[in-house]
Amino acid sequence: MLYHSASMTSRAQALLLDVAIAVASHYLWFKPYEPTSYSTIPAAALLLTSPVIYLLRRSLTSTLQSVVLAESVYISALLASIVGYRLSPWHPLASCPGPLLCKVTKIWAAYIAWTGKAHVYYAQLHTTYGRIVRIGPNDISVTEKELFPHILGAQGMPKGPVWANRRTVTSRDAKGHRNLHAVRDLALHSELRKPWNKAFSKDPMKDYEVVMKKNAAILVEQLHEQCDREKEPVVDFAKWLSFYSFDFMGDMVFGQSYNFMRDGDPKGIWDVMQESLVWPSIGQHVPWIAPLSTLFPSLMRPSKTFRNFAAKQAKARAQSEPAQRDLFYHLIRNTEVEPGTSVLPLIMTDAVLAIFAGSDTTATMLCNMVYYLLRYPEWMDRIRHELDDALGLGENRTAASGFEQVPELDTLADLKVLNAVIYETLRLQPSVPTILQRSPAQDGSRGKQLGDMFLPEGNTVQVPPYAVHRDVKYFSPRPNDFWPERWLQAGSQDTIDRSAFIPFSMGPASCVGRHLALKQLRYTICVLLKNFNIRFADGYQVNRWEEGLKDRFLMVKGELSVVLSARLS
């Protein structure tokens, strides 16, 4: 009896030691270093608990029992310590309200990302909890515009770890990574940004405008052929605008057209590009899942296929000199490249960025604008009337179709109704709806002051444009409604805070191609409205489009069925 009591006491003491080791390893190892290695963690856990295993062996019948009990208690105590700290008043983000699950684990954020509705979820959180919300154990989301300069501005913070995490889950080799979109070092970002700024200056833009008009002409030609074959064809306009954007990107970025508008997409490149966004959008929240990627080959296959496609385009461009001056012509010209060295590394580094930015974001903006014009056709009529007035057509409006009846790009930039519709579309559906993430630099400052709160190193902050743009403080009335009139008049009861309008982000990392994107939006929409009558296909559920939009960092789109008919002059 005395032996049994002593054995129980010895076992209890061993387990108390086990708990103490777990708590200590949390604060001394997991918290400062956040280990993720699937080999290091088990080995270290076994080593740390070896004294406990030795003590338990005295009171248990086998070594295996001792190991299982010691490791079970260690893991349980470690998890309890981590969760307890994250929910405790001593956590640096304890004062920030938010859902319990968000405070406890990023697995919940990964689940929300998997649903594709992160933009809607974060907007709901801000409606419930306010303009500063805790969305992760070490993450906050901010819609308070006074804090934007300290987050995104020139005196803001470098990009957060989500960028490195996206790279981790899509590529096993990140050595020498100097991608403009993902680099977190502020000085390096500034250096890499300079040739991009020059590549989108006034003279290069003229080259891109030629390419834009050429591809818009092909789009109209192909749609007219559809109308010639069938009086009022039903088409998936999202597909056509996506193919148009991809062909434009090919010409503008790599100096070659993929001819998707003429030949279709037999290899399914566009679908692969969209699908390649799924796994990174989930894994960016839980980078420790990367080693498990081999267990999900169907999820990983699109990312691998698209990387191979981008690499192939980069190699082809590096080995040729296109007849026209494309993006990489201007980037190479404005980048210090030693004579005789290959330009392939430079092209390869930014190929994926250029493909997505030059095609996917543009297609999203165009599709959303067409959707809203179809849903609110009075604005379609107002744009057409504004175009006719700009051309001085007077009462002769019925003859106004064709390219010759579209004003010059500089004139389009001054059309108030057209731009009001564009701004309202970008307000409601920004192409990058959530993940504008930043994190304090590890520069010895130990963090960043954000208004009344201090954000320590190791924590992140995101600014979600989708939620910002639907905040009644900045856009009222009817912040969730499509109402372009808000941009045309500013009455005493109306609010438009343009400093909170950030569809292209803001600061040093804002979208370098935003001016080209706006030009393309204005021109393409005007050409389409001048050449075609467009309406929803019979039976198409109007709410289906917005419900089908999925936030994968960029927006993934569904089908947009419309009926076309040519506007004859």
Q: Where is the binding site, in residues?
A: 511
Residue 120's closest CA among 429, 422, 372, 362? 429
What one-character DSSP code corresponds to residue 75?
H
The encoded tokens of residue 442 equal: 């590890």
The encoded tokens of residue 137 equal: 């154990």
The encoded tokens of residue 35 equal: 């280990």
Q: Cα 425 from chain centroid?
A: 17
Partners of residue 554 on adjacent β-strands: 552
Q: Cα 410 from chain centroid?
A: 30
Give Rg (Cα) of the chain.
Answer: 28
Other Cβ atoms closer than 10 A to 100: 10
- Which DSSP string corresponds to 429-454? S-SS-S--EE---SSSS-EEEETTEE
**Half-sphere exposure of residue 76: CA atoms within 13 angstroms, side-chain side:** 10
- Which DSSP string corresponds to 27-65? IIIIHHH----TTHHHHHHHHHTHHHHHHHTTTSS-HHH
Residue list, annotated binding site for heme = 511
Residue 543 burial class via C-beta count within 10 angstroms: exposed 0-12, middle 13-18, buried 19 and up: exposed
Residue 505 burial class via C-beta count within 10 angstroms: exposed 0-12, middle 13-18, buried 19 and up: middle
Phi first, then psi, for residue 393 (nearest 5°) are: -80, -15
Residue 462: left (phi > 0), alpha (psi -120 to 50), or beta? beta
Residue whose structure tokens are 């250096």:
191
Residue whose structure tokens are 């009591």:
5
Name the strand (E) or helix (H) holding 535.
Answer: strand 532-536
